Structure 1
Amino acid sequence: MKIAIGNDHAGPEYKAAIVKILEAKGYEVVNYGTDTFESVDYPDFGHKVAMDVETKNADFGVVICGSGNGIAITANKHQGVRCALCWIKEIAILARQHNDANVISIPARFVAIQQAVEMVEAFLSTDFEGGRHANRVNKIACS
């Protein structure tokens, strides 16, 4: 499975921890994020991750910024991308089960690194339930 990951200056440590765990589990990871704390613009990285998911060059995406909001808004501009801002593992699970989210957004300034890793692991190991949720997910996209 291929995962695209991108982050701004709030998330280099988070990205490093997440990438380490994903690669240890055998995932192929494409890194679009910055590795420094020098200020950068989150849309530059959010668009790259979302484009990979939109074009099916990646199965899932992980985006990280300070609040998680800006980069999630950026990712959600892409057709077929359903980016969920998550702050606890249970929200990450529900984002997959009920919303078929394919990108998880991590708010680096509001969760611990270990918590972020656990959310990503739960997100990637949870399946979409379909059923009644499929009708709702199908109504999300604009034509």
Structure 2
Amino acid sequence: MKIAIGNDHAGTDYKFAIVNFLQEQGHTIVNYGTDTLDSVDYPDFVHPVATDVENGNVDLGIIICGSGNGVAITANKHQKVRAALCWIKEIAELARQHNNANVISIPARYTSIPQAIEMVRIFISTPFEGGRHENRVNKIPIKC
């Protein structure tokens, strides 16, 4: 699977751990995130992830900031992007099963690195259930 990842300074350590995990699993990673702890503006690192997801250049996206909210809001401005803010593994699973989310947003200040890796593992391995959920997802407008 090809996965894009983007992060701000709050998510740098998380990104390195997640990338290492994903590469060990044989996934290809496109890294748009900062590699330092210096303060940066998260939209600069999220827009490229969302654009890749939107254009079908990657299968899924991962975005990380302190609260997970800023990156999710930014990503969800893109057509065809359904970014889900996840803080526990059960939410990550439901985001894929019921919402067909294609980007996971991780709040680095409110989860541990092991929790984040477990959420990513579940997110990338859980299929969309379709059925009644597909009807609902199809009602999410692309343009308002």
TM range (shorter): over 0.9
User: Are the aligned partners of 2:33 and 2:45 in contact in 1 as well (CA < 8 Å)?
Assistant: yes
Q: Within 5 Å, which residues of 2 pair with 1:1-143?
A: 1-143=1-143
Please give the alpha-carbon distance, in whole angstroms, between the structure 1 residues aligned to 2:109 and 2:12: 12
Counterparts of 1:51 and 1:108, CA distance in 2: 22
Q: Deviations over 1:38-90 (max 9, x none)?
A: 00000011111000000000100000000000000000000000000000000
TM-score normalized with structure 2 length: 0.98
Deviation at 1:142, TM superposition (A): 2.8
**Residues 80, 141 of structure 1: 8 Å contact kept:** no
Distance in 1 of aligned mates of 2:44 and 2:56: 19
Percent identical pairs in the alignment equals: 72
Looking at structure 2, the residues matched to 141 and 17 of structure 1 have their Cα atoms a distance apart, in angstroms, of 35
Deviation at 1:141, TM superposition (A): 2.5
Unaligned runs of 5+ in 1: none
Q: In structure 1, how many angstroms separate the alpha carbons of the residues matched to 2:109 and 2:36?
A: 16
Return the alpha-carbon distance in structure 2 between the equivalents of residues 45 and 83 of structure 1. 14
Separation in 1, partners of 2:33, 2:141: 27
Work out the CA distance in 1 between the residues paired with 2:64 and 2:15.
8
* Aligned positions, number: 143
- Give the alignment's Cα RMSD to 1 decimal: 0.6
Q: Which runs of 4+ in 1 moved over 4 A?
A: none
